[in-house]
Amino acid sequence: MSEVELLIRALSLRDELPKAEEQLLRDLPMRVRSFSRGDTLIASGARSTESCLMLSGFSCRELYVEDGKRQIAGVHIGGDFVDLHALLLKIMDHAVVALSDCRAAFVPHAALVGVTQKAPHLTRLLWMSTVIDAAIQRAWITSMGRRSAVQRAGHLICELYTRMDAVGLASRHTLVVPFTQRDLADMLGLSDVHVNRTLRDLRARSLIRWEQQSIIVPDFQALADMAEFDPTYLNLVRVPR
């Protein structure tokens, strides 16, 4: 079982992945490292020569504004090529930080450039993964601009549930997530106090339960309806790309 199984699974969900391309992924040179919650995987402003693939655990994209307020612009789980865009951007506009203990693989840009030169279809699939990321960001923008706090929180939980379920990381109505309410607040653009009340509200409506580090979603459809969640943007359909 190779380190890139989850990535292969994530790509296979969206298009047929020929064995040869699978092999290219397995053969990518990579340096695997472990991190603890709070560690910085990639610093803001870094000029990377490697891109970072999540193997297990959680990380997030983190930006700070001047008075120390934090905004999280995306959450990443195993199989996400979090930092693929560094291949093109050269200088990071944000940091990637561990939200839980996690493992990540760092792949040299030279190897990825190699993929773009000899494997156009695989290149398109990697490109696709960055573009799905952007679609998720648009959903966040929509939530932050035009949805209430309860809907926003519900929408985020639906997103995480759907994404984790797709790669086999959710089990029967339950998500194991390491987030504190402060983390959630920084994802949703709310204060931690207000997140607490928002979760209480969701609990009171029996849309979620929150035990230890687990979010339990007894009735996904009910939550999705409340939050106006439509999973189309996650592109979980297998079509030629």
Q: How far is the CB of 76 from DNA (least distance, A)?
A: 19
Residue with tokens 């979090």: 82
Question: Which residue, 138 or 197, has its beta carbon nearer to DNA?
Answer: 197
User: Both tokens of residue 209?
Assistant: 């339960």
Q: How far is the CB of 93 from DNA (least distance, A)?
A: 23
Question: Which residue, 121 or 209, has its beta carbon nearer to a second copy?
Answer: 121
SS3 content of the chain, % helix, strand, coil (to 5): 45, 20, 35
CA-CA-CA-CA torsion sign (61, 7, 237, 231): negative
Q: How far is the CB of 198 from DNA (least distance, A)?
A: 7
Cα–Cα distances (Å) from 126 to 78, 203, 229, in that order, read 15, 38, 25
Stretch that binds DNA, among 3-11, 41-49, 160-168, 188-196 (CB under 7 A): 188-196
Terminal-to-terminal C-alpha distance of the chain: 26
Stretch that binds a second copy, among 21-29, 87-95, 157-165, 196-204 (CB under 8 A): 87-95
Q: How far is the CB of 96 from a second copy (least distance, A)?
A: 12
From the list a second copy, DNA, none, partner contacted by residue 9 (C-beta under 5 to 8 A by kind): none
Distance CA 146, CA 159 (A): 17
At residue 110, the 3 state secondary structure works out as helix
What binding mask, one character per residue, do residues 145-174 give for DNA by CB under 7 A, x or -? ---xxx------------------------
User: Both tokens of residue 83?
Assistant: 């930092």
Distance CA 29, CA 31 (A): 7
Residue from 142, 174, 196, 235 touching DNA (CB under 7 A): that is 196
Residue with tokens 């009910």: 222
Does the footprint of DNA cover residue 207 (CB under 7 A)? no
Residue from 9, 33, 124, 173 touching a second copy (CB under 8 A): that is 124
The stretches of the chain forming alpha helices (DSSP H) are 5-12, 19-26, 86-89, 109-118, 120-146, 149-166, 181-188, 192-204, 220-227
From the list a second copy, DNA, none, partner contacted by residue 117 (C-beta under 5 to 8 A by kind): a second copy
Residues contacting residue 134 through CB under 8 Å, at least 6 positions apart = none
Would you tell me which residues interact with DNA (CB under 7 A)?
A: 148-150, 180-182, 189-194, 196-197, 199-200, 210
Would you tell me which residues interact with a second copy (CB under 8 A)?
A: 45, 61, 63, 65-66, 69-71, 73-74, 85, 87-91, 93-94, 113, 116-117, 120, 123-124, 127-128, 130-135, 137-142, 144-147, 186, 188-189, 228, 232-233, 235, 237, 239, 241
